[in-house]
Amino acid sequence: MATLTLTEQNFEESVLAEGITIVDFWADWCGPCKMFAPVFEKSSEAHPTVRYAKVDTEAEQGL
């Protein structure tokens, strides 16, 4: 399943939607975030019934 990109505009409707949502808050400068990204993506492929989403903390500081 594709990973959603969350923004202030779609955060509530996406996260509060029916079902399970797992959110990864990340930043370009974050080394551990970069190491975790492939694990997150692989997990999203292995669990298609779960919604996976990401938030760029630099671009979406309001979240």
Query: Residues with catalytic annotation?
Result: 30, 33
Residues contacting 3, CB < 8 A, separation 6+: 40, 41, 44, 52, 53, 54
Max CA-CA distance within the chain? Answer: 33
